[in-house]
Chain A
Amino acid sequence: MAAGAPADTTQSIATFEAAARGIIGAENIRASTSEDRVSGTQPQLIVSPGGEQQLAQVLKAANDANLAVIPRGGGTKLAWGNAPQRADVILSTARLNAIVEHAHSDLTVTVEAGCTLKQLSETLARENQRLALDALWTSRATVGGILSTNDSGALRLRFGSLRDLVIGITLALPDGTLAKSGGKVVKNVAGYDLPKLVTGALGTLGVITQATFRLHPTPKESRTVSCLARDAREAQRFVLAIQDSKLAHSALQIRFIESLHPQIDVLFEATEAGCAAQAEQLKQILAPAAVIDSGPAVWKARQELYSEAIANSESSVLAKISVLPTQIAEAYEVLTKSATESRIRFSAVFYAIGLGTIYLAGARADLAALLQNLRSKIEQLGGSLVIAHSPDAMPQLDAWGNAGNALPLMRAVKQQFDPKSTLNPSRFVGGI
């Protein structure tokens, strides 16, 4: 879509801007620049409310003016999802960045949506605690953004994903409602679990203004050990053996780098004695393969694939694959076969729980064809393939794939929360 807005949008923008000025002041409204583009579409205005009431009011004003709103935290994952059909206003959470309460004795923290993960982690580290989530781009990624995109890394194997860590949220709806759900205690079944509903909803139901998380103690010791497998089948066998063992590892991944041997990495977080004993047990499980101490750098593998995709944004794709743990080798072989046939370079990291991150580089037309083919095969396995980054000039592929037979129900949920499709229109599954 061109940046130039239709005539009636210009009028709506003016109406909205006047209202927004009254709510947050002119100094917190600015015109967009090309830096603010969202998958090729440049919105008109950037608004930065200073509190959750302001955010709810400004969102309502945009909704009243029939404008499309793109919520934005650090902007690190703004390319995820489909390109918006409309994008008029960016609603920035940058000024909502306070750590409201770190109840360290209760192992919980309440934090505003615009707080970066880095800032949060530094605060928690003072009490030897952490949010057990290794997300992407932690120095810029915000709490609201990681929740909305359901980002998670290798630690998920042990600590679960955000759905298992978030215990409460405050949500601003397009009609101006500001609602809390969940609470500040880890165990709580009062009312519907809206924290889970909005986790991974890509901001299409409401704007998260605040979240409460359960925390974990920082481990006393951690140790990363690695080993090489002959091929994908052996790598999968190793991973399944470790998963079926009595080790209490925190993370387990397979790194596939082009034609090299797959490497398996295991993270232990425990007491010194616990780490040592488990590393020894692991050697027995994987014998005769050689297990060596490798170090924490291997856990950056996923981030590196994302960074590479961004550096090479015109001719590469970054996608997330989900299959069952026993299907990792098969998924990887399908990938290898079709990528080799179409002369596409690729690397992949698969976590033992069946989640893979794949990086593909090659000609755009070849990439699109490969993704389509790969997705259909992964979906036949019962899994999914979601595209996070792709060249702007490769728009014909839906980012999400098949959302299954609950799609009408998802649309009904969207209709209840955001009947005018104000928030991130058409960016989510099935055109939601």
Chain B
Amino acid sequence: MNPDLATRFREIVGPRGLITSAEELRTYECDGLTNFRVMPLGVLLPENTAQVQALLKLCHANKIPFVARGSGTGLSGGALPIENGIVISLTRMNRILEIDIPNARVVVEPGVINLDVTGRVLPQEYFYAPDPSSQSVCSIGGNVAENSGGAHCLKYGFTTTHVLGLEVVLPDGSLVHLGGKSLDAPGYDLAGVFVGSEGTLGVATQIILRIVKRPECVQTLLAAFPSTNEAGAAVSGIIAAGMLPAAIEMMDNLAIQAAEAAVHANYPNCGALLIVELDGPFAEVESLMKHVDAICREHGASEIRVAQSETERALVWKGRKAAFAAMGRISPNYIVQDGVIPRTALPQVMSEINRLSKETGVRVANVFHAGDGNLHPLVLYDRRIAGQEEAAEALSYKILEICIAAGGSITGEHGVGEDKKRAMSKMFSEPDLETMQRVRCAFDPLQLSNPGKVFPRPRLCGEKPGKYVPHALETAGIAERF
């Protein structure tokens, strides 16, 4: 970084707020998707909104691209630095600003850790519902960027369901408030657009969250099936019976083995495991759990257990949430995929994935949010063996194509980021992508905020979609244009 620029950055964030040394920058060269790495010019650590505004104004004036970063746990390369750009790390903006229990709202800065929100409202028996597996380390700002989900979004919805308002610094440094503490603020739902925009529309500096009262009763059932087909049929049976469980998760045998090796979750060794969690009023859960039990037996479950204590329940989830990291126990390297399919396509998509796995000799472990059709195939490989990485990448991409062909999506919760830009053109047509980017042009006409992510090709914001001819009333001064 040139010394003049560094001086100006230091004037904003102080000497401890700028990182430029190569060894320290290495921490920031990638996020949770480690196969892409880029060294940024520098990393800025602002402590408040005013500093973020000043940074973005400086970037705007000098056309320096920037990437906002939370905890760096993202799995799509969304926080991958831009060459000749800076990284704005929000970790020092980690205050919980307001807890309003009667209105079920919490206002936080972006660097606050997801699980800490729940931690603060637990005494009043509330919780923050979105629960990505990384929730003990990931930040709310990152969750907002990626519209993170989690196992319980089947019933409770995604990050976007729980973000009511945002304070955002736009890429030109101006400050706007989108949405708010009360519902339905007049105007476009720009908070709804900002959530999940993967850092391409500006930097959120405050977030108004909705919290949820803890249910009276939570019951978690484990059911062992011979294969994913029977387990999948049981999932369909549960949904068809008109139930909306808090979560329905599925793991195949390879995933079970890995989770067992890593955290000893005491899972049955079977072809496919279902975790079904029901929550709500006691009488309701009691009566529905019997029904779930019957449906699982009907579809060939050999073993069914209901967690008998909070400790047992926590262990069941520990195994599930550790599933990605546990792959390290059975494979030196792996790719986490995040495709979505209509739930009914599960058997067909699974057999397709199995066929490809056999054909190519690349092993695939499967962990699903089965209730909403969100697949996490884990494509296993060994980088040290020539050709394996390429074969794994090819298979991983092929899985996305299968998901698209089944009427699904290339990403359910991890985001497009750097990783899936190419696949966007498979899922959307050119006019679809071009239309989305009109939003980008309104927020960030110079394309400084996380440029090059999400879209396979940037839209030139200077393009005028058509020649403007003023209406007669405007020329006459009767009507006004905005």
Chain A residues with a Cβ under 8 A of chain B: 6, 8-9, 63, 66, 68, 85-86, 103, 105-108, 128, 150, 160-161, 163-164, 171, 173, 175, 177-181, 183-194, 196-197, 199-201, 205, 216-220, 240, 243-248, 270-271, 273-274, 276-278, 281, 320, 322-327, 353-355, 382-384, 386, 400-407, 409-417, 419-421, 425-426, 428-432
Contact = CB atoms under 8 A, between A and B. Distances in A.
Given A189-B411, A197-B188, A382 B180 contact: yes
A179 B438 CA distance: 12
A187 B411 CA distance: 8
B182 A186 contact: no
Interface stretch (B59-67, B236-244, B293-301): B236-244
23 contacts: A8-B472, A86-B471, A86-B479, A161-B184, A183-B408, A184-B342, A185-B340, A187-B158, A189-B149, A194-B436, A196-B160, A197-B192, A201-B188, A246-B281, A271-B283, A278-B283, A324-B182, A384-B185, A403-B187, A406-B177, A409-B442, A411-B482, A426-B480
Contacts of A386: 184, 186
Contacts, number: 308
Interface centre among B186, B197, B236, B282 (most CB of A within 10 A): B186
Interface residues of B, number: 104
Interface of B: 101-105, 125, 146-147, 149, 153, 157-158, 160-161, 170, 175-178, 180-190, 192-193, 195-197, 213-216, 236, 239-240, 242-244, 280-284, 286-288, 340-344, 369, 372-374, 407-416, 420, 424, 427-429, 431-436, 438-443, 454-455, 464-466, 468-469, 471-473, 478-482
Given A274-B284, A355-B183, A413-B442, A188 B409 contact: yes
Given A106-B343, A187-B369, A193-B193, A160 B161 contact: yes
A148 to B, nearest CB: 12
A410 B184 contact: no
Given A103-B342, A413-B188, A184 B407 contact: yes
A274 B479 contact: no
A144 B427 CA distance: 24
Which applies to chain B's interface (DSSP): helix, strand, loop or mixed?
A: loop
Given A277-B284, A324-B103, A188 B481 contact: no
B372 A217 contact: no
A277 B242 contact: no
B469 A179 contact: no
A178 B431 contact: yes
Nearest to B455: A191
Contacts of B180: 382, 404
A274 to B, nearest CB: 3
A33 to B, nearest CB: 23
Contact of B187 (A183, A243, A382, A410): A410
Going nearest first, the 9 A-B pairs with the smallest beta carbon separation are: A196-B192, A274-B284, A217-B242, A277-B283, A179-B435, A416-B438, A246-B216, A412-B442, A188-B409
A248 B103 CA distance: 17
A189 B189 contact: no
A105 B240 contact: yes
A190 B434 contact: no
Contacts of A192: 193, 196-197, 436, 439-440
Nearest to B403: A185
B469 to A, nearest CB: 5
A105 B235 CA distance: 11
Nearest to B241: A217
A197 B193 contact: yes
Contacts of B189: 163, 196-197, 199-201
Contacts of A63: 466
Contacts of A414: 482
A270 B284 CA distance: 7
Given A384-B184, A410-B187, A419 B465 contact: yes
Contacts of A382: 180-182
B262 to A, nearest CB: 26
Given A86-B471, A187-B149, A409 B176 contact: yes
A199 B190 CA distance: 11
B183 A353 contact: yes
B482 A183 contact: no
